Structures are given as C-alpha cells and as structure tokens.
Amino acid sequence: MEKRSYGVLLIGCGHIGESHIEEIYYREGIRIAGVVDFHAETARLFARKYGAERWGTDYRPFLEGDAVDIVIIATYADSHLPILKDCLAAGKHVLCEKPMTAGREEDAAEFYRLAGNAKTRVLIAHVLRHNATYQRVREMIRAGAVGELRLMRMVQNHHVMNPGRYGRLMADCPPFVDCGVHYIDVARWFSGREIVSVGGFGSRTGSLAPEGGYDHGILTMRLDNGASVLYEAGWSETIAAENRKEFIGDRGRIRLTLACDRHADREEGDLIEYYDAVNREYRTINSPSVYKNMWGQLQCLIGMIEGKTEGSPTLEDAYRAFRIALLGWRACREGRELPVPEKFV
C-alpha cells in the first residue's frame, strides 16, 4: 500500500513557526503545502527556504480544496481560536501552539469544546511532552528515584534582546501564563497528581508588558498530596536569564540542566543530576538533546489522525493547564491563593 503523504500548512512564520518547519519540511510523508504570514516577504522567504508549494498573507484560501491536511497554527494566542474555527470548518487537522487562546476564560472554553467535538484531530503543542530528557526525568520520578515528590522548583527567566516579539506576546498574557502552561502541565505529568490551589505574585520589572500588566511572576501551587510547586517566569530587558528545574523528594532529588546552559561538555547533551539521599550517591546522566522535538510532536498528531495514538497532552490536560495558568494570573491580580476546581467544564 502506498504510504500516505500529509500536506502541511504553516500559519505564522515567526520564531516558533520556524522551529516547526525546519524539523519537518524534509521528512518522508510530509509536503509543505503552504506557508502564510502577515509579512509577505517573510512568507516568501520561508517558501523558498523550505520548499513550500505556495505562500501567502491570508490563510483562508489555503483551506479550500484537498492540498492541506494539517494546519500548524504558530500565530499569537489571540488569533488561535478564530483560525481553529476556520480550520475545523474546512475539515483540517490542527497542531496549535500553546497557549490555547489569549486571556479570556470563555475563549478557552470554546476552543476546548470545538476541538473536542471536531471530526478532525487537534493537538496543542506542549513540546516538552515530546522531549526525551523530560520523558526520562518523568520515568525516574515515577519509578521512585526521589521517593515521594515534595517540591518542584521551575524557573525560566529571559533577558529580552528583541523587545518587539516579547512585547507582542505579553499583549496576550504574561510569561507565567504563556510559558507557564508548559510547566503546570509538567507538574501534573511528572507527579501524576492534581493541582488543588494556586497563588502568585506578579511584577512589572521592565517596560514591555502592557501598562498595569506583568512581565514577571511567581506561581505557587499545591498538589493533592501536599507537595509544593514553584514556577517563576519573567521576560524583560532588566531581568537576568535563568533556567532552573529541580524535582525534590524525601529520598533524593533530580536537577535538570539543558545542554545550552551547561558550562562544560554541552556537546554531551542535557544533564540530569541525580542525588540518591539514602545511599548518599550522585549520578550524572547525559541525555541526547533535542529541545524542541517538533517532528516527534507532529508524528503524535499523525498517530492521532491514523487512530494509533492519543494526544500528548490530551486536550483535557492542555485545557486544564491553561485554566490553572489563568487562575494563577487572577491570583496575582487579587493577591490571594485560589482553589483549583476539580473540573473546569
């Protein structure tokens, strides 16, 4: 039987759009049927660089006909819902960048409902789910390497050198929502537990966030076994870059350092440092580094289309992570800890 070929349309030829296309354009079974960006010159350049069949500034004509099977939505969060609606109406499968939508809870609920009821498949791009190092750390935690997980500390601050891009992202939501959805999902995925409450503090450390908005935040979350999760994210021209991921239990801890942040031997890959507190032993593991495994992620969607795999994350998981992030944003504004409901729908 002839192997199926999927026509892919990329909407949004920016930072993450390029991460997607550069990992998939040459793969067997993939045709880049089109690339679209508001900026004609960017779309034209992408078409030439990645061999797209067509390019344009308006995605709608690309949804007509059968050339496109899968749409990758890599635009700003406030356009995800309207583009999703058009794609589903045209019978296309969708890989949509996180966060599902910009700040409004009603939009997120509509996205979740539409995607869940669609005849085609929708995967939200939580790329850490497809990262081999994160998968390995999760396996270690689930196998009891650190005993009972008591604390997760996850920090990701960016010193901003390209204010236009970060300013535009923060017009939709602060970094602890935009990026926070990844790590709220990681907290649930690693621990297998539910987040029961969320609190937080927001700050405006630079000048790029909307007036009265936040460019930095610390979310504090409680799991249903009493464990704590701390997540910090900031994007500003004044803050220093920092990336820290620690998972601490009653019998040990794991610290994860990405290859790009290693001071030595970065060519070995990501570094997993494991401390076994019972035997007072340290172990270091090099994990081959593909930070954004866009091909693995697209293969997950293809598996869903072909009925072979479930979404990773499921729509439910992605929706829950986003709603908890929105609650965290509210907690920052209201200056109080908020309970997380068992169900959001």
Judged by the rule CB under 6 A, the positions of this chain that interact with ligand NAD are: 11-17, 36-39, 42, 59, 74-77, 79, 97-98, 125, 127, 165, 168-169, 178
| Pick 21 or 127: Cβ nearer ligand NAD | 127
By C-beta, is 93 or 98 nearer to ligand NAD?
A: 98
Q: Give 79 or 135: the residue with its C-beta nearer to ligand NAD.
A: 79
Per-residue tokens: 345:
């729908």
Minimum distance from residue 245 beta carbon to ligand NAD (Å): 15
Pairing of strands 338-339, 55-56: unpaired
- Shortest distance (Å) from residue 172 CB to ligand NAD: 7
153 Cα distance to chain centroid: 18
**From the CB of 232, what's the least distance to ligand NAD, in Å?**
17
Q: How far is the CB of 140 from ligand NAD (least distance, A)?
A: 23
Q: Give the type of residue at 282.
A: Y
* 40 vs 306 by CB, closer to ligand NAD: 40
Pairwise CA distance, residues 105 & 122, whole Å: 19
Q: Could you give the angle at the alpha carbon of 251 between the alpha carbons of 245 and 254, nearest 5°?
A: 20
Closer residue to ligand NAD, CB minimum distance, 32 or 223: 32
136: exposed, middle or buried (Cβ count in 10 Å: 0-12, 13-18, 19+): middle
Omega before residue 163 within 30° of 0, cis: no
First-to-last alpha carbon distance for the chain, in angstroms, is: 43
Backbone angles phi, psi at 153, to 5 degrees: -120, 115
Where helices occur in the chain by DSSP H, the ranges are 15-24, 40-50, 80-89, 105-117, 132-142, 163-172, 175-178, 180-191, 294-305, 315-334
Closer residue to ligand NAD (CB): 184 or 223? 184
Least separation in angstroms between residue 222's CB and ligand NAD is: 26
Q: Which is nearer to ligand NAD, 165 or 244 (CB)?
A: 165
Look up residue 100 and give its DSSP letter.
S
Residue 128 Cβ, how far from ligand NAD at the closest point, in Å?
Answer: 8
Q: Of 15, 61, 59, nearest to 38 (Cα)? A: 59
At closest approach, how far in Å is the CB of 249 from ligand NAD? 27
- Whether a cis peptide bond, with omega within 30° of 0, leads into 99 is yes
Please work out, in degrees rounded to the nearest 5, the angle formed at the alpha carbon of residue 305 by the alpha carbons of 302 and 307. Answer: 110
* Number of CB atoms found within 10 A of residue 148's CB: 12
List of residues 6+ apart from 226 with CB closer than 8 A: none
Q: Which is nearer to ligand NAD, 71 or 302 (CB)?
A: 71
- CB closer to ligand NAD out of 58 and 342: 58
DSSP state of 142: H
Closest approach, Cβ 339 to ligand NAD, in A, equals 27
In the complex, residue closest to ligand NAD by CB: 14
Closest approach, Cβ 96 to ligand NAD, in A, equals 9
